[in-house]
Amino acid sequence: MPSYDMVCQDCGHKFSVFCSISHKDQQICPDCQSPKINQRFTAVNIAGSKRSTGASVAPVKTSNFG
């Protein structure tokens, strides 16, 4: 089930809900019980994705002592 970040229009409380998309608009604020909530759009972090910075790393040379 997806997670939605919400904000209450009445009290400003920010919260997340786990529900199906068909129930997303039927949620109420857990603080003031208001049905006037909007979805907040935040950044998405996808696990396992890697971002290339364009920088390359040179191998480290080691020497034998002794």
State residue 41's pLDDT score.
Answer: 86
Q: Where are the domains of the chain?
A: 3-40
pTM of the complete model beyond 0.75: no
Cβ pair 9, 36 in contact under 8 A = yes
As a whole number of angstroms, the distance between CA 57 and CA 12 comes to 46
Q: How does pLDDT run across 14-66, given as a tens digit for each residue?
A: 999 999 989 998 999 999 999 999 999 877 666 665 555 555 555 555 555 54
Name the class of domain 3-40.
Answer: mainly beta
Q: Is the dihedral of CA 31, 29, 4, 2 positive or negative?
A: positive
